[in-house]
Amino acid sequence: MLGEMSVSESLKTEYLRAFFRNPVFLSAVTSWFLAQLIKTIAALFRIKKQSLKDIFETLVWRSGGMPSSHSALASSLAMSIGFVEGFGSNLFIVTMFLAFVIMRDSLGVRRSSGVQGRVLNGLGKNVSDKLKIDFHPVKEVHGHEPMEVVIGAILGMLISAAFFHL
């Protein structure tokens, strides 16, 4: 029984190592992280006084801005699958179209929601000020400008190519 547990634990450890060494995983995570890091550094120069919490949230959580981390991750994942499975494989085709959906969503739906949220919050604040009532703003979702999506996609493809060719 003791021997079986150690073999089982050894297999689990080996599977975990293989997962974290997988170039598809590594290129996707690196693309996402690098895009977020670039956004965070840009925000530090743009907004002088930021708390450590703001910096961490920008690095890990916030969306919108240059470059698009969604596009970077999605394009890196598709390219990596293309390198591993072949660019004519069904899996590449699926990941490529999922990347397109993600990028289109960040340009359209999420961007529209953000614009509508800003307008709604402005209207709510005006009404609140005039009528002296409490107003609780809605969350503004930040989508992307077209160039942010393009640069994110290029970043993801370059990082994927680097993982597979360097």
Average pLDDT over residues 21-34: 95
Mean pLDDT to the nearest integer, 58-78: 85
Average of pLDDT values for 136-155? 84
Owner of token pair 């402005």:
122
pLDDT reported for residue 74: 97
Reply yes or no on whether the pLDDT at 63 is more than 80: no
Distance CA 9, CA 87 (A): 36
| Residue 4, pLDDT above cutoff 60 | no
Q: How confident is the model at residue 122 (pLDDT cuts 50, 70, 90)?
A: confident
Q: What is the 3-state secondary structure (H, E, C) of the chain?
A: CHHHHHHHHHHHHHHHHHHHHCHHHHHHHHHHHHHHHHHHHHHHHHCCCCCHHHHHHHHHCCCCCCCCHHHHHHHHHHHHHHHHHCCCCHHHHHHHHHHHHHHHHHHCHHHHHHHHHHHHHHHHHHHHHHHCCCCCCCCCCCCCCHHHHHHHHHHHHHHHHHHHHC
User: What average pLDDT score do residues 57-61 get?
Assistant: 70
Q: Does pLDDT of 1 surpass 50?
A: no
Query: Of residues 127 and 89, which shows the higher confidence score?
Result: 89
